[in-house]
Chains A and B, each alone.
Chain A
Amino acid sequence: MSAGIVTAAERGLIGCHRCGHVVERPSPAPAGDCGRCGAALHRRKPQSLERCWAFLIAAMILYIPANTLTMMRTINPFNSTDDTIISGVVYLWVAGTPELAVIVFVASVMVPIGKFIALLILLLSVRRGSDRDRAGRTRLYRIIERIGHWSMLDVFVVALLVALVRFDLFGRVEAGGGAICFGAVVLLTMMASLSFDPRLIWDTPARHD
């Protein structure tokens, strides 16, 4: 343990997750409700690891149809094209602006995959009881918590294009099953990171060997 740091658990205190109020609860006592806001107090989020694993695995499975199924179908009098996330990025790169192609690629490919890897690192290191670079792992958690919702970008783009391109003569755009899967992936990864309790990173005592 670093010098001078006392944890709430050692001191018999609990910080309320909803309102920040600090409540005195000696460790063996049941945590109960926050006196200020009435929320249930937890020393650690209940079933944090189990819930995080469940959401993460569900998200990783759905990520496959999210990328292989059609995200968007463009129909015009001459032909129709099916776009996935990746072909949409390629189109933006070729016909639009490379800058936006990079943004969409980062939001829809790198952010979800980065989030899968980061959560796996956090879950496995907590299970091993690792004491390596805890501040770094906490920072990793903060980053994925902050950027996770940006992966919804392409789902919103599809919704807008569907609304705009509906000319009978000129063609129209339809959304595909890939959009449903992708939206679900984003929601599931957000629920996974919200379930993870970063305090678990700090709970194992430092080893001196």
Chain B
Amino acid sequence: MSVDRWVVCEQCDAVHARRELQPGEVADCVRCGHQLYRHHRFDVEMLLALTLTTAIAFLLANVYPIIALDAQGAYNAATIWGAVIATWESGVAPVAFIAALLVFFFPLAQILLFAYVLLGLHGGRRPGEFRQAMHALSLMQPWSMAEVFMLGILVAIVKLQGVMTVIPGIGLWSFAVLTLLLAALTSYDLQDLWDIAERLDGDGGPVAREPA
């Protein structure tokens, strides 16, 4: 099954005829300026490599302390989970819960789901739970906030600097790298993965298409 001939702008409902783009080219809606689709530099192999690298950065960012403090011999280091648990114990459980979701569980789920989808597509087939995985990815996209947390770490460091010695940990650098990688990964247009999956089906794979 070929990909759609038409593109509908999701912000103003204008219909456009789809055309092949040159590398780096972007198709914007002629009526409201919303970006409809673009030519991607990444293929499935590169995305898979990006996902794997992001997973490693995620692991390091969560294992090592983000910041350590030294105040006249008293030493304290905090990991991301340390921050979540301390916030929970501090009596504001809802804040701890939200932070854990936005900074830990959503990024982790995004990485795992991308790996699942891309490994399948790389192997030349649509993985079994492709639909569910893609739906989960698109629902999670607005709620993953690693980059906001990164800025939060910098603000926290500055706030503490006057009073104590702040030692940036391996976790901080890993988290900075994670932020960049995750941004690159989630900026990828999920519609393209749907198109790739459709093309695979069209190339003689088992076609499981419902009548539109």
Decide whether A and B assemble into one complex: yes
A residues whose Cβ falls under 8 Å from a Cβ of B: 2, 5-9, 11, 13-15, 17-24, 35-39, 91-92, 95-97, 100, 103-104, 107, 134-135, 138-139, 141-142, 145, 149-150, 152-167, 169-170, 173-177, 179-180, 183-184, 187, 190, 194, 198-199, 201-203
Q: In the complex the two chains form, is A37's CB within 8 Å of B194's CB?
A: yes
How far is A189 from B6 in the complex, measured between Cα atoms in Å?
33
Q: In the complex the two chains form, is B13's CB within 8 Å of A162's CB?
A: no
Q: In the complex the two chains form, is B31's CB within 8 Å of A183's CB?
A: no
Complex partner residue of A161 from B13, B135, B156, B198, CB under 8 angstroms: B156
Q: In the complex the two chains form, is A18's CB within 8 Å of B148's CB?
A: no
Q: In the complex the two chains form, is B194's CB within 8 Å of A36's CB?
A: yes
Q: In the complex the two chains form, is A149's CB within 8 Å of B148's CB?
A: yes
Q: In the complex the two chains form, is A199's CB within 8 Å of B87's CB?
A: no
Q: Which residues of A contact B102 (CB under 8 A)?
A: 152
Q: Which residues of B contact A96 (CB under 8 A)?
A: 158-159, 161-162
Binary contact readout B130-155 vs A (1 if CB under 8 angstroms, 0 otherwise): 01001100100011010011011111
Sorted nearest first, the 10 A-B pairs with minimum C-beta distance are A15-B8, A156-B152, A35-B212, A20-B191, A163-B83, A163-B86, A163-B78, A160-B156, A175-B92, A138-B32
Chain A facing B: main interface SS: helix
Best-surrounded residue of A20, A163, A174 (most CB of chain B within 10 A) = A163
Q: Which residues of A contact B8 (CB under 8 A)?
A: 8, 13-15, 20, 22
Q: Which residues of A contact B7 (CB under 8 A)?
A: 15, 20, 22
Best-surrounded residue of B32, B131, B138 (most CB of chain A within 10 A) = B32
Q: In the complex the two chains form, is B198's CB within 8 Å of A36's CB?
A: yes
B residues whose Cβ falls under 8 Å from a Cβ of A: 4-15, 30-34, 37, 66-67, 69, 71-72, 74, 76, 78, 82-87, 90-92, 94-96, 98-99, 102-103, 131, 134-135, 138, 142-143, 145, 148-149, 151-156, 158-162, 164, 190-191, 194, 198, 209-212
Question: Can you name 16 extra interface pairs (CB under 8 A) apart from A164-B69, A183-B95, A202-B14?
Answer: A2-B31, A15-B13, A22-B4, A35-B210, A91-B159, A95-B162, A96-B161, A100-B158, A138-B11, A149-B143, A156-B153, A157-B152, A157-B159, A163-B84, A175-B90, A180-B95
How far is A11 from B71 in the complex, measured between Cα atoms in Å?
68
Contact A158-B158, Cβ < 8 Å, known A150-B148, A163-B83: no
Shortest CB–CB separation between residue B197 and chain A, in angstroms? 9
Q: In the complex the two chains form, is B34's CB within 8 Å of A142's CB?
A: yes
Task: Find the B residue at minimum CB distance from A6.
Answer: B15
How far is A166 from B71 in the complex, measured between Cα atoms in Å?
11
Best-surrounded residue of A37, A91, A107 (most CB of chain B within 10 A) = A37
Complex partner residue of A6 from B14, B72, B76, B161, CB under 8 angstroms: B14
Q: In the complex the two chains form, is B15's CB within 8 Å of A7's CB?
A: yes
Q: In the complex the two chains form, is B99's CB within 8 Å of A159's CB?
A: yes
How far is A7 from B5 in the complex, measured between Cα atoms in Å?
15
Q: In the complex the two chains form, is A164's CB within 8 Å of B92's CB?
A: no
Q: In the complex the two chains form, is A202's CB within 8 Å of B31's CB?
A: yes
Q: Which residues of A contact B152 (CB under 8 A)?
A: 153-154, 156-157, 159-160
Q: In the complex the two chains form, is A198's CB within 8 Å of B78's CB?
A: no
How far is A167 from B208 in the complex, measured between Cα atoms in Å?
60
Q: In the complex the two chains form, is B91's CB within 8 Å of A174's CB?
A: yes
How far is A36 from B156 in the complex, measured between Cα atoms in Å?
46
Q: In the complex the two chains form, is A139's CB within 8 Å of B33's CB?
A: yes
Q: Which residues of B contact A156 (CB under 8 A)?
A: 99, 103, 145, 148-149, 152-153
How far is A152 from B146 in the complex, measured between Cα atoms in Å?
11
How far is A184 from B31 in the complex, measured between Cα atoms in Å?
35
Shortest CB–CB separation between residue A189 and chain B, in angstroms? 12
How far is A30 from B51 in the complex, measured between Cα atoms in Å?
39
Shortest CB–CB separation between residue A203 and chain B, in angstroms? 8
Q: In the complex the two chains form, is B32's CB within 8 Å of A202's CB?
A: yes
Q: Which residues of B contact A165 (CB under 8 A)?
A: 69, 76, 160
